Structures are given as structure tokens and as C-alpha cells.
């Protein structure tokens, strides 16, 4: 199996703030008209001045390393930009969007229609863009010999129907220790809805505050199993997953399995931007979606590229908002 060599940021909130020179004007996004990236995303090389401004981004813990990398990469090429990124979970970011308190909500799940309506009632104007893909990994200890699980077996483990590793092929594994994210996590919502059909977790499941906490729990306990974004699988392993016993078992470690829809627990990663992007918001969004440096950051942090289908969806949204991509 391929494993990513990412550096994992400690759990909790991570802030990327105002590291660059300039950016003295902390007004909200979009007060300076110059936008657009050159081929290398370098304003210095092109001679273009990028827009000045501040963006506050909050949300998904799964995406916090990715969001931090995006922000640092962008501020390296725009000394007038000032971007703050904090985690706390997709629910935290979406709640901030609903309260009209942020510029961008990072989320590992889609906002619901009800959440859109609540946000719009409070004066926010969320628009959805997809900035990467994740193969959600079913994580196990490196000493665990189980290599493959079906969807039904995974559901039964996390709901407590299967409680011993011997039931899925590891005779000496003993009692399974289930680790889950907390309910404010977009990863929790996605996994519960798409893998567990909304059923309750096992009675003795541990609910942990972040992706790093899940990784550490699995790394320290040979009997543990959890679920985390593929970018956090470092020092542990992940099983291949099949829809059923008659289907092929597929690894989350291969990008083509996610991009082609072969891995059954794959998901898009979202930016919800507040208002029609202009100024630094538009410049940053285009850089994240189209710049080759941002592509490298997606891979370096363990996630996958946006893919043709979602890229088309982004372009349709830009078009609907009247934003020129030339």
C-alpha cells in the first residue's frame, strides 16, 4: 500500500495568520480589482499586482492541513494577502457561514438545503466550490492482518453487530475497539450517512475530537479501527473496501480509484464562499482551483485532485456568478 509522508498538524485549531508583509488593511474580501493567476501563480514573475485583503476561513478538521497549505502557498505569492485558517470541524465552519461570520467555510460534507436557507436568512450568500477529493480511509493498526472488508462488515463493526476481530478473519485479534469522530465533524456525518445508513454507533465507541486523535488512537491500539481522511494515514494502515462480497476490493491509496469512482467511500472537499467572489476572494479561489502549485499542495497533504467532473461543476458555478475565467 502507498502511504503518504505528510506532516500532520497537531489536533485542535490551527491558525495561519498574517505572516506576510503588507496586508495592513484587514477589510473584508474584495476591495481591489486586480485578479487572475499567471501560469506559475507568480505575481512577481508576471508583474501583475494581486489584490489586497483579508480572508477568514473556518471549518473541517480533515481539511485544516490542506487549508493551511493553500493559505501559506497563496501568501507566498501575494504579499498583500492575509488569510486566517482555523479548524474545529465542518459543523463549526458551516455554523459560522449560517451566522454570516466568515468568508469561506471549509467542509468535508455538503451543506444541506436547510443550512443554505438559514444562511441566506441571516444575510449570508454561500456558493459551493470543490477544491479536492478524499478517499475516506478505514484505518487499522499496522499489526492488524485484516486487509479487506466489505461495506456490510464495516457497518456492522461500527454499529456493534461485529465485536471481535475473529469474525472478520483475525482469530487472535480480540475485541474490536471502535474510534469515531465527534458529531460536529463533516467526516462523522458523511460516514454515518453513507456507510452506516444513519444507525447508531457501537455502545462502547470512542468519540474523538479530530483526525489526528483518531490516527493516534489507532496507532496506539492494535485492536482499534477508525475512519479518517486519507491525508492522515501515517504510521497506520487502511483496509481495501468492497461494496459486497462479489465486488472488487479497492484501495484508497490510489488516486485513480477515487477519481474514477471505484473506491466506495470517496468524497469531494468543499469551499463555501460567502458572496459573489471578487478581489482577493476571487483571486484566491481561482488559485486554489487552477494553479499548478495548489495541485502540488493537494498531493503533498495527502489528498487528490479535483477531477474533471467536479472541475466542470466549478466552472458552471463561476459562469452562473458571471465570473470570467479567461
3-state secondary structure the chain: CCCCCCCCCCCCCCCCCCCCCCCCCCCCCCCCCCCCCCCCCCHHHHCCCCCCEEEEEEECCCCHHHHHHHHHHHHHHCCCEEEEEEEECHHHHHHHHHCCCCCEEEECCCCCHHHHHHHHHCCCCEEEEEEEEEECEEEECCCCCCCEEEHHHHHHHHHCCCCEHHHHCCCCCCECEEEEECCCCHHHHHHHHHCCCCCCCCCCCEEECCHHHHHHHHHHCCCEEEEECHHHCCCCEECEEECCCCCCCECCCCHHHHHCCCCCCEEEEEEEEECCCCHHHHHHHHHHHHCHHHHHHHHHCCCECCCHHHHHHHHHHHHHCCCCCC
> 22: pLDDT confidence band, cut at 50, 70 and 90?
very low
Q: Does any domain span residue 187?
A: yes
Quote the domain boundaries for residue 143.
137-260
- Report if residue 27 sits inside a domain: no
- The reply to whether 74 and 88 lie within a common domain is yes
Are residues 100 and 148 located together in one domain of the fold? no
- Residue 250 sits in the same domain as residue 183: yes
Q: Is residue 155 part of a domain?
A: yes
pLDDT band at 43 (very low <50, low <70, confident <90, very high): very low
Same domain? For 67 and 122 the reply is yes
Same domain, 255 and 273: no
- For the ranges 20-34, 209-223, 231-245, the lowest mean pLDDT is seen at 20-34
Tell me, yes or no, whether 224 and 256 share the same domain: yes
Of 238, 260, 282, which residue is a domain's last? 260
Query: What is the arithmetic mean of pLDDT over 182-197?
Result: 92
What average pLDDT does this structure show over 213-222?
96
Confidence of residue 2 (pLDDT cuts 50, 70, 90): very low
Q: What dihedral do alpha carbons 85, 90, 93, 95 form, nearest 10°?
A: -170
% of the chain with per-residue pLDDT over 70: 85
Categorize the per-residue pLDDT at 48 as very low, low, confident or very high, splitting at 50, 70 and 90. low
Domain total of the chain? 2
Structural domain contains residue 174: yes
Q: Are residues 172 and 231 in the same domain?
A: yes
Residues 170 and 81 in one domain: no
pLDDT band of residue 20 (cuts 50, 70, 90) is very low
| Structural domain includes residue 189 | yes
Q: Among 260, 292, 309, give the residue marking a domain's end.
A: 260
Torsion (CA) 19, 22, 25, 31 in degrees, nearest 10: -110
| Listed ranges 17-26, 33-42, 150-159, 185-194; the one with the highest mean pLDDT | 150-159
Beta bridge partners of 85: 57
Q: Residue 273 sits in a domain of what CATH number?
A: 3.40.190.10
Structural domain includes residue 19: no
Whether residue 254 is found in the same domain as residue 280: no
For the chain, state the CA radius of gyration. 20
Average pLDDT, the chain: 87
| Domain annotation covers residue 17 | no
Q: Answer whether 0.85 is exceeded by the pTM.
A: no
In sequence order, which residues have a C-beta less than 8 Å from that of residue 282 and are 6 or more positions away? 30, 35, 51, 323
Is 70 exceeded by the pLDDT of residue 306? yes
Tell me: do 185 and 128 sit in the same domain: no
Say what the pLDDT of residue 159 is: 98
Contacts of 40 (CB under 8 A, 6+ apart): 292, 293
Residue 34: band (very low, low, confident or very high) from pLDDT cuts 50, 70, 90: very low
Statement: residue 15 has pLDDT above 80: no
* Co-location of 59 and 130 in the same domain: yes
Most distant CA pair in the chain: distance in Å?
65
Residue 15 lies in a domain: no
Per-residue pLDDT, 9: 38
pLDDT score of 302? 86
Same domain, 208 and 315: no
**Helix orientation angle between 113-121 and 90-98, rounded to the nearest 10 degrees:** 40
Mean of pLDDT values over 56-85: 96
Buried-exposed string 57-74: b where 16+ CB fall within 10 A, e elsewhere:
bbbbbbbbbbbbbbbebb
CB atoms within 10 A of CB 263: 24
Query: Which of 235, 260, 285 is the last residue before a domain boundary?
Result: 260
Amino acid at each position: 500500500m502507498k502511504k503518504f509522508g505528510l506532516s500532520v498538524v497537531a489536533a485542535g485549531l490551527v491558525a495561519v495568520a498574517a505572516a506576510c508583509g503588507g496586508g495592513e488593511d484587514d477589510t473584508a474580501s474584495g476591495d481591489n480589482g486586480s485578479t487572475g493567476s499567471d501560469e506559475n501563480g507568480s505575481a512577481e514573475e508576471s508583474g501583475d499586482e494581486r489584490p489586497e485583503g483579508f480572508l477568514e476561513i473556518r471549518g473541517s478538521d480533515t481539511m485544516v492541513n490542506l487549508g493551511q497549505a493553500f493559505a501559506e502557498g497563496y501568501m507566498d505569492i501575494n504579499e498583500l494577502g492575509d488569510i486566517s485558517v482555523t479548524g474545529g470541524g465542518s459543523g463549526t465552519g458551516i455554523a459560522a457561514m449560517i451566522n454570516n461570520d466568515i468568508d469561506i467555510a471549509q467542509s468535508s460534507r455538503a451543506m444541506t438545503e436547510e443550512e443554505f436557507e438559514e444562511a441566506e436568512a441571516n444575510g449570508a450568500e454561500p456558493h459551493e466550490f470543490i477544491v479536492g477529493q478524499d478517499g475516506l480511509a478505514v484505518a487499522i493498526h499496522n499489526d492488524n492482518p485484516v486487509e479487506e472488508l466489505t461495506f456490510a462488515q464495516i457497518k456492522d463493526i461500527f454499529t456493534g453487530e461485529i465485536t471481535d476481530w475473529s469474525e472478520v478473519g483475525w482469530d487472535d485479534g480480540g475485541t474490536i475497539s471502535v474510534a469515531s469522530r465527534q458529531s460536529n465533524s463533516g467526516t462523522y456525518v458523511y460516514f454515518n450517512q453513507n456507510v452506516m445508513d444513519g444507525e447508531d454507533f457501537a455502545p462502547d465507541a470512542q468519540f474523538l475530537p479530530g483526525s489526528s486523535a483518531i490516527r493516534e488512537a489507532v496507532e496506539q491500539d492494535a485492536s482499534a479501527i477508525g475512519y479518517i481522511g486519507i491525508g492522515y494515514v501515517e504510521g497506520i494502515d487502511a483496509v481495501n473496501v468492497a461494496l459486497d462480497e462479489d465486488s472488487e476490493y479497492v484501495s484508497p491509496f490510489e488516486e485513480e480509484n477515487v477519481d474514477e469512482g471505484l473506491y466506495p467511500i470517496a468524497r469531494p472537499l468543499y469551499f463555501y464562499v460567502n458572496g459573489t467572489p471578487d478581489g482577493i476572494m476571487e483571486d484566491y479561489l481561482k488559485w486554489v482551483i487552477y494553479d499548478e502549485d495548489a495541485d502540488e499542495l493537494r498531493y503533498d497533504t495527502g489528498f487528490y485532485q479535483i477531477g474533471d467532473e467536479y472541475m466542470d461543476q466549478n466552472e458552471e458555478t463561476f459562469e452562473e456568478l458571471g465570473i470570467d475565467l479567461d
